[in-house]
Structure 1
Amino acid sequence: MENKGQVSQFILEHFKHFNAASLVDAAKGYEVQLSKGNKMMVTLAGAMSTAELGKSLAEMIRQDKIQIISCTGANLEEDVMNLVAHSFYKRIPEYRDLTPQQERELLDNGLNRVTDTCIPEEEAFRRLQDHIYKIWKTAEEAGKRFFPHEYMYKMLLSGELEQYYQIDPKNSWLLAAAEKNLPIVVPGWEDSTMGNIFASYCIKGELKTSTVKSGIEYMTWLADWYTENTKDNGIGFFQIGGGIAGDFPICVVPMLYQDLERTQTPFWSYFCQISDSTTSYGSYSGAVPNEKITWGKLDADTPKFIVESDATIVAPLIFAYLLGY
């Protein structure tokens, strides 16, 4: 327990069995990967940004314990929304008791609910809209095209949003990523709020669809990145939740090996998923890691971990361990 703080020591002392023990095993396995010089991809599903995972994730990025992120469009934008509109968020701990009429009242008040937390539409979405539109339009007029996350990086690094900051910026994981120019993959960006807003401008004829690079371009970029970064070391895969944030990037390995016939492509060097998805319904998000062997994503001897629990609890604890807290 050398160089470990009180949180880590508590975890090592008390997390001895079942999912608690899996959490410890996964954290130690992650640490081993980094000690070997391997890189780590972290994937973010669900509403991890609205859960304020940035409080620990940002420091993981700053300390070079994450080398690439795959996230949904929602997680990409919701970290920035929390940064600029945090005091307008409304928490509803009794959300299970809401009637349909009460839900409608939240909508009428411009509050979009994610479990127990309501995102304020006017202060969050609309506060960003004018700024991001100008960046999209400037790029288009210059004949340039960028990925969704690159536009968000430009907006954050411009300093234009600093006037709105309502939390300590050190707790924004996207700002930490922007400052490091961390590679990010955002599959399915089109279904996010910013993706919907961009589509609305395209429908009105104010922007071209080609101004934002596509998911296929993300995949071809990731193929090159994976190939380049596995020349000397491996790349681990740390999946928070399920869905497209994990499904999309993990497929780059079988694509390289099978479809491009680059048979020297190494498997992912580590795999961990935090999930409470049920496996018995044909759910890919809930599939045990061994199933991924049959799809050419993991090897028989790849270190594999699954923690069947709430990611909002598990991920910060694993990050705390890796940060030595």
Structure 2
Amino acid sequence: MNNKGEISQFIQKYFLHFNAASLVDAAKGYEAQLDQGSKMLVSLAGAMSTAELGKIFAEIIRQDKVHIVSCTGANLEEDLMNLVAHSHYKRIPNYRDLTPQEEWDLLEKGLNRVTDTCIPEEEAFRRLQKHIFKLWKKAEEEGKRYFPHEYMYQLLLSGVLEEYYEIDIKDSWMYAAAQKNLPIVVPGWEDSTMGNIFASYVIKGELKASTVKSGIEYMTFLADWYQKNSDNGIGFFQIGGGIAGDFPICVVPMLYQDLEQTEIPFWSYFCQISDSTTSYGSYSGAVPNEKITWGKLDIDTPKYIIESDATIVAPLIFAYLLNM
């Protein structure tokens, strides 16, 4: 504990049992993976960008404690939305008490609610839309195609958004990722706001669907990346459930079973922060051992599940990794 800061020392002293102990064990296991030269995939589900996880996750990226990210399209774009429209967000602590009429009133004001936080449509979505459309159009005219996250990287690195910045740029995990050209996979991007906007341009005949690379292409990219980076193992740190985790973890059984590459190693570490319940049959709620039967984890893979709120747990684990 000597090289650790006050937060890390606090959780090691007082987080001793149950989910608290699992948090500490998972953090130490993550650190051990990095120490042995393993790489780490972090998956982001839910609304972690709107929860402003970037304030600490950006530093995890800068310090090379994550090597590839899998996230929903929502987390991809909402980090940028927070970057350019933060002052227009509205927090509603009493969101549980809202009536249907009050929810409708928020809609009419252009405020899209995510639990206790409303994202301002005009300042967030539309501010990005006009710039991202230009990049889509430019790529199409040049006969080029890019992944969704690559267009976002182009947008950030071009500097066209700088006049809109409303938070410190160091708190944007997407900007930190863009600077490193960090690999990202974004399964189900079509389900996001930007995916919907892109689809509208396709329907109107203004863009071709092929201008943005597909989910299948993300999987083939991930398969290639996994093979090239698995010599010392690759860990899997899953925040939440859903497609952000389900999609990338399947690359191992695909390589092993479908492509018959029997030398491919299993994921070398697994941790999930989740509030899903196993008894409901959800894949997100499955205990790690179930993944052994699917050819994703080995018998000896270090496995952790923390049944708690990711907005509380993830920052604490990242703080431990940063020696805070």
Scaled by the length of structure 1, the TM-score of the pair is: 0.99
Matches of 1:48 and 1:279, distance apart in 2 = 22
Could you list the runs of 5+ residues in structure 1 that have no partner in the other structure?
none
Structure 1 letter corresponding to 2:151: Y
Deviations 1:257-285 (A, max 9, x none): 00000011100000000001011011100
> Which residue in 1 is equivalent to 2:254?
255
Q: Counterpart of 1:291 in structure 2: which amino acid?
A: E
What CA deviation, in whole Å up to 9, does each residue of 1:178-206 have, x standing for no partner? 00000000000000000000000000000
Which residue does 1:321 correspond to in 2? 320
Q: How does 1:58-97 map to 2 (within 5 A)?
A: 58-97=58-97
Residue 294 of structure 1 pairs with residue 273 of structure 2: no
**Identity %, equivalent residues:** 82
Matched, 1:228 2:228: yes
Q: Deviations 1:164-221 (Å, cap 9, x if unpaired)? A: 0000000000000000000000000000000000000000000000000000000001
Partner residue in 2 for 1:117: 117
User: In structure 2, what is the equivalent of residue 108 of structure 1?
Assistant: 108
- Distance in 1, matches of 2:4 and 2:161, equals 36
1:116-151 deviations in Å (ceiling 9; x for gaps) = 000000000000000000000000000000000000
The answer to whether the aligner puts 1:169 opposite 2:148 as a matched pair is no
Partners of 1:27 and 1:281 in 2: CA distance? 28
Counterpart of 2:146 in structure 1 is: 146
SS at match of 2:305: strand
Please give the per-residue CA displacement for 1:285-322, whole angstroms capped at 9, x wherever unaligned. 00000000000000010000000000000000000000
Say yes or no: does 1:311 pair with 2:307.
no
Question: What residue identity is the alignment partner of 1:132?
Answer: I
2:192 maps to which residue?
192
- Name the Cα RMSD after superposition: 0.3
> What CA deviation, in whole Å up to 9, does each residue of 1:229-281 have, x standing for no partner?
11x21000000000000000000000000000001110000000000101101
Where 1:166 maps in the other structure, the secondary structure is coil
Structure 1 equivalent of residue 37 of structure 2: 37
* Separation (CA, whole Å) in 2 of partners of 1:80 and 1:109: 21
Q: Which residue of 2 aligns with 1:14?
A: 14
For residues 51 and 196 of structure 2, the distance between their equivalents in structure 1, rounded to whole angstroms, comes to 22
SS at match of 1:280: helix
Measured in 1, the distance between the counterparts of 2:228 and 2:17 equals: 39
Counterpart residue identity of residue 4, structure 1: K
TM-score by length of 2: 1.00
Cα shift at 1:2? 2.0
Q: SS of the counterpart of 1:221? A: helix
Equivalent AA in structure 1 for residue 274 of structure 2? S
- Which ranges of structure 2 fall in alignment gaps of 5 or more residues? none
Question: How many aligned positions are there?
Answer: 324
Deviations 1:48-98 (A, max 9, x none): 000000011000000000000000000000000000000000000000000
1:279 maps to which residue? Answer: 278
Q: Distance in 2 between matches of 1:55 and 1:154?
A: 21
Indicate the SS of the match to 1:143: coil
Map of 1:51 onto structure 2: 51
Report the equivalent of 1:215.
Answer: 215
Alpha-carbon distance in 1 for matches of 2:107, 2:322: 39
Q: Letter of the 2:292 partner, please give it.
A: I
Is 1:264 equivalent to 2:251 in the alignment? Answer: no
Deviation at 1:3, TM superposition (A): 1.4
Aligned residue for 1:40, secondary structure, equals: strand
> Which letter maps to 1:245?
A
The residue type equivalent to 1:5 in the other structure is G
Determine the C-alpha separation between the residues in 2 that align with 1:306 and 1:290: 10
